[in-house]
Amino acid sequence: MTDKPTLALVAHDSKKEVMVEFALRNQEKLGHFGLVATGTTGGRIQEKCTDLTVRRLKSGPLGGDQQIGAMIAEGKLQGLFFFVDPLSPMPHDVDIKALMRLALVYDIPMALNLSTAEILLRSARLQGLKTTSATPEIKLTAS
Ligand SMILES: O=C(CO)COP(=O)(O)O
């Protein structure tokens, strides 16, 4: 695994195109992070964003959300970009909630829609996303 701060990219089916466009537009910035993604999202990003290396985990409904949750619990994830479909029922709804819950428990910066993702990535500059309760502003961790 990379020693760069790591971001997870996850999108539900109706949001995958938005995620791919987001990744394409921000390829240069994203390239400064280690990237992981759930299976299908990662495949779609990798097809279009040939400059990026994305580690693909399982597909969301088959455990991908849980794998990302485990990374958060182990301190291996610094940011979560999760484009959620709020209008469709999901078979793995409990996994989705569990992932969001862990991002909240560990205070991982988490963008659930495009406009927040753009702001978050801009704030992150190229260096790291983790804030601490002692420093409410973005803490720039890596050089
Ligand atoms: O279902 C997902 C997140 O909950 C995303 O999984 P895929 O990227 O494999 O479609």
Q: Is the CB of 12 under 6 A from ligand 1?
A: yes
* Strands 54-56 and 34-37, sheet pairing: parallel
CATH architecture observed for domain 6-123: 3-Layer(aba) Sandwich (3.40)
Annotated catalytic residue, options 65, 93, 95, 107: 65
Ligand 1: which residue has its CA nearest to atom 10?
A: 40
23 DSSP 8-state letter:
H
**CA 100 to mean position of chain CA atoms:** 11
**Residue 65 a catalytic site member:** yes
Provide ipTM, 2 decimals. 0.99
What pLDDT is recorded for position 116?
A: 97
Q: Are strands 110-111 and 34-37 parallel, antiparallel or unpaired?
A: unpaired
Round to whole Å and give the CA distance between 44 and 60.
14
| pLDDT tens digits along 38-60 | 999 999 999 999 999 999 999 99
**pLDDT at residue 124 in the model:** 76
Written as six digits, the tokens of 13 are 């089916």
Q: pLDDT tens across 62-95, in order?
A: 999 999 999 999 999 999 999 999 999 999 999 9
Residue 9's SS3 state is strand
User: How do the domains of the chain map onto residue ranges?
Assistant: 6-123
Mutate to test the pocket of ligand 1, among 18, 59, 94 (most ligand atoms within 8 A of CB): 59
